[in-house]
Structure 1
């Protein structure tokens, strides 16, 4: 059996916590959570989501950390090692393989969307630079443009394949560079520098929104539940978001858990990660909605909330160009800390199972994900206008990005989480679980009950409704 760079491990518990929070906190928190909260009516969705995080997400998070810590290798090998110790079939290792494949596919389109974020960093940085040169550093963003012109910027980007390809390449290249440098020199160093920056930016923009935005209506919208809006569709969305926001089902936490040193208290560590991740999601809502509501825009704008609604809102806000630039830098930081954890999953498999060097494994999987990402971004531009010969029309008519996103989010992630719950809840050796997690007897019984019964049932619901949407119809 190969081990994944056994010489490496997190230098401290705090380093693992920062890296794991970075893995969990990503576009799912800053973009997807406010979008779902807005579309789902606010309070009822938010409260149900918080319940899902702690009744479902936290037990699964601890299960993945346990597998990695006990297995001490890549996701496939870790599950296989725990299965061997528990006298279970070695075929359980395929669950780790499923997570690695899911991570690879997620990275391919994740990098494309993160490229959009880079584009908007450039847009607002350019506007802020113009404001500085004009002696008006605190003017509104994108001054002089109406709503239609600002919203058209997204369409202009989609119509520029070279620009999207360039942003995709820059983001993927940065991800490869960090992961290729290893756990200490790359992943841990990035987390210890970027996560404090992330929290400073997040809290700063929340304070800005509280001062110049509509915090009163935001608090009412997010935390005053209208239970009539808690439909089966909303509950299913909250269940899925709890998995997505904690990066469960793609083996990233298993892989990070394999680098944990002895003596780390897994239960309290998992709880801290879950609390931090949920706090970031809520702060994202408190950051975005005061700005949106203060200018009379629709909080239920859907996926265009970040890329079209907010840029228009920044236009009329004091220091809008500066805040807009910082806001998209914030999203970029969240995206890069998540992307490195996603790439680490197949990279660790290549090192641990195939015996490849880290640079080779990183380049193979990162390069392949980049190529798949190109196919994803082709569906988001007007190729037929750029290439009149029509060769690229086959891509322009395919929504590959949304297809891959839907397949991984609705099927692969829930499937991976389901089998992790069943494996740890039913198959893992109880003595090994108790010794590795360090949980008290009462907490151990509760955790195993949630994993064995509640988590599989809830995740199965997500999976079934993803496969058969008519169930909720």
Structure 2
């Protein structure tokens, strides 16, 4: 197994090889990666639309069938290859073609980070305005307020704050930076979740929202529901963009990857459930529509919080929740190109963090200015720059990245079971899912979201 090839710096590999997560630190960091912004407004919406508890059950099945097997595969490749998302495939096979496939994940993570930092910045703005009370003035039209904010230059400032914060944490290293940050924020995240869930469940009319979210309606399940559940199981766990693979390269050999995968999956599931128990009771209590997208978080819910006793406090906590979810995910995404830069060019972690953060910020500027800003009127086939980067990375690049992982682990890597800690029936079941089930389902997800498959 040749680990010293022409596009990788031995000094860079030594820098990566010297960094390790503790056992609890890895699980918390991985949960932080999978807990993202999308779950807070997307999961409750698609759950309500596709049959409530019936869809939630379907989502759990999809998490088991496609989410956990690919998650385990990514972590095993990272730990086995002990390299970046680009080099780990090559380190395990010596095949240069796989190195290029791995580099695809680095590019995916870089472009996701370029626009994800913009949305993360919005959460910081709204958190600050909530706690200071500036968000709530009589007669505020929250749709117009968000449009005015997004059209200005404040999003650029907040985007820079997010990049500086994430870059600073990553520059401190795996243990002192990424792990320590997640150990502080993830418990706080859980406390805020519980506070908001209790408050939402005690609102007048909350029961109607809970019923909408959790009452099973199997008649509303169809083939489209299954593909949406599959897609969300895939996206919600940060698969296909090198995050879990890169984090896996920092995991100690003695740690059980199977147990870690289960803990991460349960964490993701718990967050999805609690997010629904916050959103739906609030939405129904104040007569709002559980619409998809940013409108729910930045336009509809502020209107609800403005009518609530101590609304500034609960609004502040809600956007703090979103900010934590955004930052813990953003750190895992940014670490992918940073790790690649360290390894490929022998840069120090500090130099790589600064360089990648600066370039990522510059690439993300058009995204920040295209959500109603000066570039908002420039569209291609009805989509702005922000829309296109989001669409291409989430619905094209991530599924293709996940497909690479399944094919590599299922067909090319002979010692996958040994690294993953699986043998016997568990190993055969894992291989069956990776070789035959997951690739077909990923292709169906890809075709569906590309509009090439409809029902």
Q: Give the TM-score normalised by the residue count of structure 2.
A: 0.92
Q: 1:145 aligns with which of 132, 139, 144?
A: 139
Distance 1:33 1:393, change over 3 A: closer
| 2:257 aligned to which of 266, 271, 275 | 266
Alpha-carbon distance between aligned partners in 1 of 2:311 and 2:131, rounded to the nearest angstrom: 11
Aligned residues between the structures: 443
CA deviations 1:304-360 (Å, max 9, x no partner) are 111111111112222211000011011101111110100100110111122122122
Kindly report the root-mean-square deviation, in angstroms, between the aligned alpha carbons of the 2 structures. 2.0
Contact 1:315/1:321 (<8 A) preserved:
yes
Shift of 1:289: 1.0
Q: Which residue of 1 aligns with 2:7?
A: none
Partners of 1:215 and 1:118 lie apart in 2 by 28
Q: Report how far residue 375 of structure 1 moved.
A: 0.7
Give how far 1:406 is off.
0.4
Mean Cα displacement is larger for which, 72-81 or 36-45?
A: 36-45
Q: Residue 38 of structure 1 contacts residue 301 of structure 1 at CA under 8 Å; is this kept in 2?
A: no
Measured against aligned partners, the alpha-carbon deviations of 1:192-221 in whole angstroms (never above 9, x if no partner) come to 111111111111111111122544223322
Number of the residue aligned with 2:35? 25
Counterpart residue number, 1:7: 18
Q: State the distance in 2 between where 1:25 and 1:33 align.
A: 12
Give, in whole Å, the separation in 1 of the partners of 2:171 and 2:46. 34
- Do structure 1's residue 446 and structure 2's residue 399 form an aligned pair? no
2:88 to 78, 87, 99: 78
* Residue matched to 1:106: 112
CA distance in 2, matches of 1:183, 1:214: 45
Look up the match of 1:251: 242
Give the Å deviation of 1:230.
Answer: 2.5
45, 52, 66: which one aligns with 1:42: 52
Q: What SS class does the counterpart of residue 240 from structure 2 fall into?
A: coil
- Structure 2 counterparts to residues 381-396 of structure 1, below 5 A: 381-383=372-374, 394=378
- What is the distance in 2 between the residues matched to 1:33 and 1:96? 29
Q: Distance in 2 between matches of 1:302 and 1:32?
A: 6
1:124 is matched with which residue?
A: 130
Rate the CA distance shift 1:382–1:365 in 2: closer, same or farther, 3 A. closer
Alignment of 1:188-207 (within 5 A): 188-207=179-198
User: What do residues 360-394 of structure 1 show as CA deviations (whole Å, max 9, x unaligned)?
Assistant: 2222222111111111122113438xxxxxxx964
Which of 287, 291, 296 is the aligned partner of 2:282? 291
For 2:166 and 2:49, the matched residues in 1 are separated by 32
Instruction: Name stretches of at least 5 consecutive residues in structure 2 with no aligned partner.
Output: 5-9
Q: CA–CA distance in 2 between the matches of 1:466 and 1:288?
A: 25
1:472 equivalenced with 2:451 (yes/no): no
Partner of 2:445: 462
The within-5 A match list for 1:12-411 is 12-84=22-94, 89-127=95-133, 142=136, 144-145=138-139, 149-160=141-152, 162-212=153-203, 214-300=205-291, 302-383=293-374, 394=378, 399-411=384-396
Which structure 1 residue ranges, 5 or more long, are not aligned? 131-140, 385-391
Question: What is the distance in 2 between the residues matched to 1:234 and 1:317?
Answer: 34
Q: Distance in 1 between matches of 2:293 and 2:53?
A: 16
Contact 1:151/1:312, CA 8 A, preserved across alignment: no
Q: Separation in 2 of the partners of 1:222 and 1:406?
A: 27
- Give the Cα–Cα distance (whole angstroms) in 1 for the partners of residues 199 and 394 of structure 2: 33
Judged with a 3 Å threshold, the aligned counterparts in structure 2 of structure 1 residues 28 and 150 are, in CA distance, closer, same or farther, namely closer
Distance 1:456 1:95, change over 3 A: same
**1:116 Cα shift?**
1.1
- Residues 184, 289 of structure 1: alpha-carbon distance in 2 compared, 3 angstrom cutoff: same
**Contact kept in structure 2, 1:417 and 1:459, CA below 8 Å:** yes
Q: 1:282 to 1:109 in 2, by over 3 A?
A: same
SS at match of 1:196: helix
Aligned CA distance change for structure 1 residues 182 and 213 (closer, same or farther; 3 Å): farther
In the alignment, the residues of structure 1 paired with residue 295 and residue 51 of structure 2 have an alpha-carbon distance, to the nearest angstrom, of 17
CA distance in 1, matches of 2:292, 2:340: 40
Counterpart of 2:453 in 1: which secondary structure? Answer: helix
Q: TM-score, normalised by structure 1?
A: 0.89
Give the secondary structure class of the aligned counterpart of 2:86. helix
Give the C-alpha shift of residue 68 in structure 1. 0.7
Partner of 1:135: none
Q: Quote the offset at 1:252 in angstroms.
A: 0.5
